[in-house]
Structure 1
Amino acid sequence: MALKIDAQLRGFDLCQVPAQAQRLEELGFDAAWTFEAAQDPFLPLAVAATATEKLELGTNIAVAFARSPFSMAGTAWDIQRASRGRLHLGLGTQVRAHVERRFSMPFDRPAARVTDYIRCMRAIFDTFQTDARPDYEGPFYQFRLMNPFFNPGPIDHPHIPIYLAGVNPRMCRAAGEAADGFHIHPMHSVSYLNEVVKPAIDEGAKTRGMGVDDLDLQTMVWLVTGDSQAEMDAAFEQVRRDISFYGSTPNYRRMLEHHGLADLGKTLSGLVRQGAFDEMAALVP
């Protein structure tokens, strides 16, 4: 599988997105990705789609459970049409607190739920493209109603690659079971990938006669760069802050445990509860 170099599309001001996306394309980047935090992840992609010709575009990630499968499918279909087939739809589950208390949506059995979510979306895509009668009913989602008024109709590039993000083995397995690719969180290491992530993806992929090598692995990394030692030091400290933030979250605890740092995760969580955020980075080795 070919190695591609991607960039992050920081579309905080939509007016700046066309120039930013065009610049990334001119520099030779293969893809530009957005993420869902303080801004919607899809609007910058829609703008970039009309301003570029070759740059692949994707979400890394959009929160799946914040939207219904039909709502997500419709947005993805529109961007796939506008980009002429360049969309990569990256989904993540987020965590229980945010899904239930910020988005007011259910979160039970997230790995099984997101697997059903992806399969439901694929059924919706099929109806969009072929006008097939909807008959999907899974353990969490259903798609059994459509009429021409609500069907956006076929497009030239109907296959939209769906990626799933995760850290822990169960979510990695879910990606193998249902997704086209996997978003590897920057909170990882080579040994964690080889000993935990890839075997779990492979296990899931075998349920549909595939293997981990059949999925596209999109890997984010933390980089330390700078034109001076002072800039390098500042960048290094920012990475330590990022690691301490994610390490304080139980969802990322497994990676620390893998490296014998379980106590560090518990300590970081305690500092978060105390509001002592400024003390966290110094604890990262």
Structure 2
Amino acid sequence: MRVETVLLSLETAQYAGEGQDAVTLAGIAEAARRIEALGFDGATIPEAGHDPFLPAMIAAEHTERISIGTNVAIAFPRSPMVTAQIAWDLQHFSGGRFSLGLGTQVKGHNERRYATPWTGPPGPRLREYVLCMKAMFASFADPKTLTPFEGEYYRFTMLPPFFNPGPIAHSHVPIYLAAVNKYMARLTGELCDGLRLHPIGTFRYTKEVLMKEVAAGAAKGGRERSAID
């Protein structure tokens, strides 16, 4: 069993709107080293007040063993290429220890906080987002062969050599999805490497509802349930 903890966890004062301590590069590095020294298997970083990718880079630089992942980065404000590039670089710089956790957030946060258009149902749109990124990862790994993707929401049909980051040693970037509802759990089972659970989900709901949907998605994708974290 893997045991992870949160890097840059939220403070009660921040939830209450009373401010928070300023985050520093040295503080992130120290926290990451402490997590590794305490024996945790991994550290995950939320997108809550700060972008989750910069702390992941700092944590990768100052640790050697633990896995590092976003928990979660909000997908729709970023294009699939923007997310794929930073995930590819983090996987390379961390020596294969990075995992990309993605979530959709709700319509109000996308439109009113992120100033991002809500162009369709989040489930089908995230499905395309994941497939589009997988096509990009394949194109990064094999620069001579473009793996295109064309869907209703996303289209990837061009990658000139100048803009291709090129192959890396650990070319599989694990993708985890935040799941509260059945669709996202099924999508995780079908296409992704693991699930990021929401704090509001009870153990009973996770076991009796979400895990069954993960298994159904895995069956649809021709995969074993045991392959999904």
Same fold (TM over 0.5): yes
Task: Give the drift of 1:57.
Answer: 0.2
Alpha carbons of 1:112 and 1:59: their partners in 2 closer, same or farther (altered >3 Å)?
same
Would you say 1:118 and 2:130 are equivalent positions?
yes
Residues 165-192 of structure 1 show CA distances to partners (whole Å, capped at 9, x for unaligned) of: 0111122122122211111112122221
Task: Give the drift of 1:207.
Answer: 1.2
CA contact (8 A) 1:49 1:82 kept: yes
Separation in 2 of the partners of 1:160 and 1:119? 13
Separation in 1 of the partners of 2:48 and 2:167? 31
SS of 1:139 mapped into structure 2: coil
Would you say 1:149 and 2:162 are equivalent positions?
yes
Which amino acid in the other structure matches residue 72 of structure 2?
I
Would you say 1:171 and 2:184 are equivalent positions?
yes
Task: Give the drift of 1:156.
Answer: 0.6
Separation in 1 of the partners of 2:210 and 2:117? 26
Separation in 1 of the partners of 2:137 and 2:128? 14
CA contact (8 A) 1:198 1:212 kept: no
SS of 1:183 mapped into structure 2: strand
**What is the aligned partner in structure 1 of residue 7 from structure 2?**
9
Residues 39-77 of structure 1 show CA distances to partners (whole Å, capped at 9, x for unaligned) of: 010001111111111111000000011100000000101
CA contact (8 A) 1:115 1:174 kept: yes
**What is the aligned partner in structure 2 of residue 191 from structure 1?**
204
CA contact (8 A) 2:123 2:184 kept: yes
**What is the aligned partner in structure 2 of residue 26 from structure 1?**
37
Task: Give the drift of 1:147.
Answer: 0.8
SS of 1:66 mapped into structure 2: coil
**What is the aligned partner in structure 2 of residue 136 from structure 1?**
149
Gaps of 5+ in 2: 10-22
Separation in 2 of the partners of 1:68 and 1:81? 20
SS of 2:116 mapped into structure 1: coil
**What is the aligned partner in structure 1 of residue 18 from structure 2?**
none
Separation in 1 of the partners of 2:57 and 2:96? 12
**Which residue among 85, 94, 105 is the counterpart of 2:96?**
85
Task: Give the drift of 1:211.
Answer: 4.1
CA RMSD of aligned residues (A): 1.3
Residues 79-120 of structure 1 show CA distances to partners (whole Å, capped at 9, x for unaligned) of: 111101000100000000011222232332101110110111
SS of 1:91 mapped into structure 2: strand
Which amino acid in the other structure matches residue 131 of structure 2?
R
Q: How many residues align?
A: 214
Large movers: runs of 4+ above 6 Å: none
Gaps of 5+ in 1: 217-285
CA contact (8 A) 2:101 2:178 kept: yes
**Which residue among 198, 210, 213 is the counterpart of 2:226?**
213
Would you say 1:44 and 2:42 are equivalent positions?
no
**What is the aligned partner in structure 2 of residue 182 from structure 1?**
195
Task: Give 1:214-233 correspondences, 5 Å limit.
Answer: 214-216=227-229
Would you say 1:59 and 2:59 are equivalent positions?
no
SS of 1:65 mapped into structure 2: coil
CA contact (8 A) 2:190 2:223 kept: no
**What is the aligned partner in structure 2 of residue 224 from structure 1?**
none
SS of 2:100 mapped into structure 1: strand
Would you say 1:160 and 2:176 are equivalent positions?
no
Which amino acid in the other structure matches residue 183 of structure 1?
R
Greater fraction helix: 1
